[in-house]
Each structure stands twice: as structure tokens, then as C-alpha cells.
Amino acid sequence: MAETLTITSLGHEGDGIAETASGQKVFVPFTLPGEVVTAEIEGERGHLVSIVRPSPDRIDPACKHFTVCGGCALQHWAPERYQAWKRELVVHAFAQRGIETEVDPVVPVAPHTRRRAVFTLARDDKALVLGFNKRDSHDVLAIEECPLLVPEIENRRDKLAALANRLVDQGKRARMTVVSTDTGLDVSLEGARKPGRADYEALGRAATDGSICRLTVDGAEIVMSRVPELRNDPIVLYPSPGGFLQATAPSEKSMADLVDAAVGKSGPVLDLFSGIGTFTLKLARRFPVLAVEGEARLLQALDRSMRFSKNIKAVTMRRRDLFLNPMAPPELKPFQAVVFDPPRAGAKAQAEMLAKSAVPRIVGVSCNAATLARDARILIDGGYRLTRVTPVDQFLWSGHIEVVATFELARKGSTTRRVKLS
Ligand SMILES: C[S@@+](CC[C@H](N)C(=O)[O-])C[C@H]1O[C@@H](n2cnc3c(N)ncnc32)[C@H](O)[C@@H]1O
């Protein structure tokens, strides 16, 4: 039987939190603070049945698939309240580590800006479905719209499904990463059937209608009609098939501007977890930069950017596993600033090394506020001061938030030295 509940707050994934009559804490998706709802209780999950008293901040969701699609959790909240909640997530993550800090307002990101999408493809009962996983399910939802995506991807769903049609067999699944670039769609298919000779020809024909610049299957290039380029004059970035790329161009710009400002006026700069060089290249307009990254193919893409971008200073690249082999204080010595932008797991080992260094400025970028706060604690305990924290809403309507944090060396007796980067 459904129980009447009052939602007191939202959990970090965006689900409403309430207490049952028996004092049990339950999470009820698609509810808002202050709302009175009825829900069927199953363990610590509450399945929303009806909204008895809606929040004045409740709005109509932007997408017809909302609540069924696993992608979005919070389309039903007025933007100002939603953004304030996202900022609070960051405040809370730092407070959990004993760090009291000012946090800037969230930098918002508009709908229809997601330029990198990862679709699931599944063939059931003959039809090939291109979509996203349903909420709390492995089933694939065939999406008819997605207000997150740039139109170049959203309007080509049928074309993308047709492209994969030959290579996904009955009962099988595959993953398709699509990046909208300035030269067309860069499509990477993974987990599909290996193409045979006849497939190559058909794929070649299907892919060369002007909308697709590159098609790779499990990393192997099948079609390349134009080199995929992300142009931001004077810089050109080259995405790597299926490789990491900041999810939207506006959030990437906001983060790169924040990093650039936080680095300040002196180099050389060390860019750790550099990827294809999103921050490296912008910083290299002013300073020599050493880019360190674990994946060879991303450094190859950065190498290409260095050759085709204009007005950049010396960029040195190094491949290294920074989890197993973080850069140690003697190696950090030449740098006036260090940027680190690790995966969700954070950069604990590297933060421990940075905490022992005398680098004057450190900028941390992360899509996980909890691991960033953990790494911030390590830096602060090592003698750094946290001077600015800015959330960027790269993952609109989800519980995820991107954060840029700036640290300055505050240890007594610390001096700054300028050293030439060899
Ligand atoms: C969040 S991405 C940031 C990339 C880059 N800063 C950008 O904006 O495009 C994290 C990067 O860390 C790299 N990475 C993951 N694990 C690593 C490791 N153990 N050592 C070095 N790099 C690693 C990934 O390949 C990825 O490029």
C-alpha cells in the first residue's frame, strides 16, 4: 500500500529523501524538497505514486522520456533551485572533508549542447534500437528526442542506427560513441560484429553522405572522409575514436578559461591527465607546458594539435601512469603551476606528491566533487590554501557536477623560483 511522505531534501543523485511512519529513510525519485507525495515502499526505495502537494518550484520536464530514460534525474525543478542544489553538492563534499570554503555560483550549461553521446544499440525481435539504458534497467530505450544533444546528433539518430544495422546481430548489443565535430560526426562503434569485406563497401557508402567524417569499429578506421576537427581558433583539437572529450563545448570553454585564469601569470606549467590537450593548448599560448597522460592515442592527437594550432609555445608530452607512478617533488620543481584533471577516481597518489612540493599554484579539475575534496584535503594538510571553487554544470539534469578548484602555496618559508623547462 502506498504511504504518504514529506520530502525533506534531495540525495546526491537527485532522489527525494523522506522518512516513513516507522522512521525508515527512503529515496523517492522525481520528487522535490517540501513536496507531499504517496509512494510504494520497497526496501529503501520509494516508487512515486502521486504528488499530493507539489513544490512551487516544480516545472514540466523538457523531454518526453523523462523518468523512463536513465540519463536525467532532475528536469522537473526550476533552474535557479536546481543550480543552487548543485552548488550545495559541492559545498557538502568539501565540508565532509572538514573544508569550509566559499563556492561560486554554478556556471550553467544550456540544453542542446552535448556534443559527445554514448548510445547503446540492441537488436531485439529484428529491429535495431538506438538509445540509452532505461532507468534502473539494462533494457534499451529507443529515444525519439533528447534535449541534451546538439541537433547535429539528435536529428541523425536514424542515420546512426542505419549505419550500425549491418553489424549488430540478433540478441547482441553494441556501444556507439558519437562526437559532433566541425567536419562532421565522428562515430566509434564498439562491441559490434567485426565487419567483413561486403560490410566495408556498404558502410563506406552509408558513411559518405557528408554527415559522417569518420567511422571506426573497435578502434579500426573503416571510413575517413574528413579528419574530425574541433576548431577554436587558433587551437584545433583532434578527438580520438571513442576517447575522452569534455562533454559540451560551452562547459569546456568555461573550464579552460577558469584554468587559464587560475594558473596566473607565470610558467612553465605542468598539465597532468592532459588527454588530447584541452587545457594544454590554451595554456601553451602563454607558457611552455609539459602534458602528461596515460593513453598513447590521446597524446598522438595532442601531437597533431601542436602541429596544426597557431601561436603556441613549446609543448612537451610524456606518457605515464600517474596512479602507479605520480610525479614526485623533484620532478615538480621546475613548474610555476600544475593543473590536474583526473578521472572520477581522483588523483590521491599525485595529490600526496603535490602536497610535498613547492609549486606555487595548483588547479584541480574534476567531475567528482567527493574525490576532488579528498585530494583538496591532502593539499591543504600539506600547506596549500584553497582560494577558489567553481562548479560548472557540464552534466545538465544529472547528479554530476564538474568543479574547478584553485590552490596557492601558503606554507611558511616557501619561495617561488623560476626555472627553464628543458
Ligand atoms: C577527465 S579526463 C581529462 C582530460 C583532459 N584534461 C581534457 O580536458 O580533455 C582524464 C584523463 O586522465 C587520463 N588517465 C586516466 N587514468 C590515468 C592514469 N592512471 N595515468 C595517467 N592518465 C590517466 C585519461 O586517459 C583522460 O585523458
Extract the annotated binding site: 246, 273, 293, 341
Q: Is 348 in the pocket of ligand 1 (CB under 6 A)?
A: no
pLDDT per residue over 26-48, tens digit each?
A: 999 999 999 999 999 999 999 99
Q: Is 347 in the pocket of ligand 1 (CB under 6 A)?
A: no
Give the pLDDT confidence score for residue 422 in this predicted structure.
43
pLDDT per residue over 64-118, tens digit each?
A: 999 999 999 999 999 999 999 999 999 999 999 999 999 999 999 999 999 999 9
Give the pLDDT confidence score for residue 414 in this predicted structure.
58
Between residues 395 and 203, the one the model is more confident about? 395
Instruction: Report the DSSP pairing between strands 337-340 and 269-272.
Output: parallel
Range of lowest pLDDT (99-113, 210-224, 322-336, 396-410):
210-224
Residue 265 has pLDDT above 50, yes or no: yes
- Grade residue 419 by pLDDT with cuts at 50, 70 and 90: very low
Extract the annotated binding site for S-adenosyl-L-methionine: 246, 273, 293, 341
Kindly state the helix (H) or strand (E) to which residue 126 belongs, with its residue range.
none
Q: Is 350 in the pocket of ligand 1 (CB under 6 A)?
A: no
Give the pLDDT confidence score for residue 412 in this predicted structure.
67
DSSP character string of 351-412: HHHHHTS--SEEEEEES-HHHHHHHHHHHHHTTEEEEEEEEE--STTSS--EEEEEEEE--T
Please tell me the pTM assigned to this model: 0.94
**What CATH architecture is 116-230?**
Beta Barrel (2.40)
Residue 418 has pLDDT above 80, yes or no: no
Q: Supply the residues annotated as catalytic.
A: 367
Between residues 210 and 268, the one the model is more confident about? 268
Residue 303 has pLDDT above 90, yes or no: yes
Q: Is 342 in the pocket of ligand 1 (CB under 6 A)?
A: yes
Q: Is 298 in the pocket of ligand 1 (CB under 6 A)?
A: yes
Protein residue closest via CA to atom 21 of ligand 1? 294
Q: For residues 110 and 250, is the Cβ–Cβ distance under 8 A?
A: yes
Give the pLDDT confidence score for residue 185 in this predicted structure.
96
Kindly state the helix (H) or strand (E) to which residue 258 belongs, with its residue range.
helix 249-263
Instruction: Give the ligand 1 atom nearest the CA of 252.
Output: 8
pLDDT per residue over 114-127, tens digit each?
A: 999 999 999 877 78
Q: Is 276 in the pocket of ligand 1 (CB under 6 A)?
A: yes
Give the pLDDT confidence score for residue 162 in this predicted structure.
87
How far is Cα 86 from Cα 104, in angstroms, rounded to an integer? 11
Give the pLDDT confidence score for residue 201 in this predicted structure.
83
How far is Cα 73 from Cα 68, in angstroms, rounded to an integer? 10
Distance of CA 67 to the CA centre of its chain: 22
User: Separation of 295 CA from ligand 1 center, angstroms?
Assistant: 8
Instruction: Give the ligand 1 atom nearest the CA of 280.
Output: 6
Homologous superfamily of domain range 84-109+248-409: Vaccinia Virus protein VP39 (3.40.50.150)
User: Separation of 400 CA from ligand 1 center, angstroms?
Assistant: 18
Mean pLDDT across the chain: 94
Between residues 195 and 404, the one the model is more confident about? 404
Angle subtended by helix axes 369-381 and 348-355, to nearest 10: 20
Q: Is 278 in the pocket of ligand 1 (CB under 6 A)?
A: yes
- Grade residue 313 by pLDDT with cuts at 50, 70 and 90: confident
What residues does each domain of the chain span? 3-58, 84-109+248-409, 116-230
Range of lowest pLDDT (26-35, 200-209, 324-333, 342-351):
200-209
Domains 3-58 and 116-230 share a fold: yes
pLDDT per residue over 244-256, tens digit each?
A: 999 999 999 999 9
pLDDT per residue over 170-195, tens digit each?
A: 888 899 999 999 999 999 999 988 88
- Grade residue 413 by pLDDT with cuts at 50, 70 and 90: low
Protein residue closest via CA to atom 22 of ligand 1? 294
Please work out, in degrees rounded to the nearest 5, the angle formed at the alpha carbon of residue 364 by the alpha carbons of 303 and 297.
Answer: 25
Which of 127, 83, 72, 136 has the alpha carbon at shortest distance from 105?
A: 83
Protein residue closest via CA to atom 25 of ligand 1? 295
Between residues 232 and 396, the one the model is more confident about? 396
User: Separation of 293 CA from ligand 1 center, angstroms?
Assistant: 6
Instruction: Give the ligand 1 atom nearest the CA of 295.
Output: 25
Instruction: Give the ligand 1 atom nearest the CA of 275.
Output: 27
Q: Is 323 in the pocket of ligand 1 (CB under 6 A)?
A: yes
Percent of residues, the chain, with pLDDT higher than 90:
82
Instruction: Give the ligand 1 atom nearest the CA of 276.
Output: 9
Q: Is 88 in the pocket of ligand 1 (CB under 6 A)?
A: no
User: Separation of 66 CA from ligand 1 center, angstroms?
Assistant: 31
Give the pLDDT confidence score for residue 375 in this predicted structure.
98
CATH number, domain 3-58, options 2.20.140.10, 2.40.50.140, 3.20.20.140, 1.10.3720.10? 2.40.50.140
User: Separation of 192 CA from ligand 1 center, angstroms?
Assistant: 26
Range of lowest pLDDT (78-87, 125-134, 403-412):
125-134
Range of lowest pLDDT (57-71, 300-314, 384-398):
300-314
User: Separation of 224 CA from ligand 1 center, angstroms?
Assistant: 26
Kindly state the average pLDDT of the residues 143-166: 93
Give the pLDDT confidence score for residue 44 in this predicted structure.
95
Residue 265, CB half-sphere, CA atoms under 13 Å: how many? 1
User: Separation of 320 CA from ligand 1 center, angstroms?
Assistant: 10
Beta bridge partners, 409, equal 384
